[in-house]
């Protein structure tokens, strides 16, 4: 990987803030429209939904579910692939802004505490 741009596109939304891949599609959360978009690899929107929360700032996929961190509610949401909330919880920190999954744990970074948290799902 050299960092050279291979492709770019303008997705729907105005402030993309989180991106994940499920093996076939890209999933994008936008902190301005407060929507999650499912995109094909050419950037076309397949569908979108309005998840719980007010300001989505991070998104990851665990092989079955989407996980969303929200700066407005300071919660993490487990979502099915249609946007229905399975569960939510309040992690440590005050301003969740990035989320990833390592195969076992969620990892969350916080913009105010400047810490990274390892979380059980």
Each residue of 18-57: pLDDT tens digit?
999 999 999 999 999 999 999 999 999 999 999 999 999 9
**pLDDT average, residue stretch 88-95:** 91
Overall pTM > 0.75: yes
Query: Residue 3 falls within a domain, yes or no?
Result: no
CA distances from 2 to 6, 9, 21, 26 (A): 10, 19, 20, 21
Range of the domain at 20: 16-119
Query: Residue 6 falls within a domain, yes or no?
Result: no
Query: Residue 44 falls within a domain, yes or no?
Result: yes
Query: Residue 11 falls within a domain, yes or no?
Result: no
Q: Where are the beta strands (DSSP E) in 11-73?
A: 16-21, 26-30, 35-39, 45-49, 56-61, 66-70
Query: Residue 61 falls within a domain, yes or no?
Result: yes
Structure tokens at 88: 């939510």
Query: Residue 77 falls within a domain, yes or no?
Result: yes
Number of domains in the chain: 1
pLDDT value at 78 more than 90: yes
pLDDT value at 1 more than 80: no
Q: What is the enclosing helix (H) or strand (E) of 85? A: strand 85-89
Query: Residue 36 falls within a domain, yes or no?
Result: yes
Query: Residue 29 falls within a domain, yes or no?
Result: yes
């Amino acid at each position: 990987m050299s960092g050279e741009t291979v492709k770019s596109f303008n997705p729907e939304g105005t402030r993309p803030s989180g991106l994940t891949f499920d093996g076939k599609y890209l999933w994008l959360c936008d902190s301005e429209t407060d929507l999650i978009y499912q995109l094909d690899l050419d950037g076309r929107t397949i569908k979108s939904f309005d998840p719980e929360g007010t300001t989505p700032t991070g998104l990851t996929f665990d092989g079955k579910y989407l996980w969303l961190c929200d700066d407005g509610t300071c919660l993490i949401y487990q979502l099915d692939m249609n946007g229905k909330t399975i569960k939510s919880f309040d992690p440590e920190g005050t301003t969740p802004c990035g989320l990833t999954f390592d195969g076992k744990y969620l990892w969350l970074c916080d913009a105010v505490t400047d810490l990274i948290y390892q979380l059980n799902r």
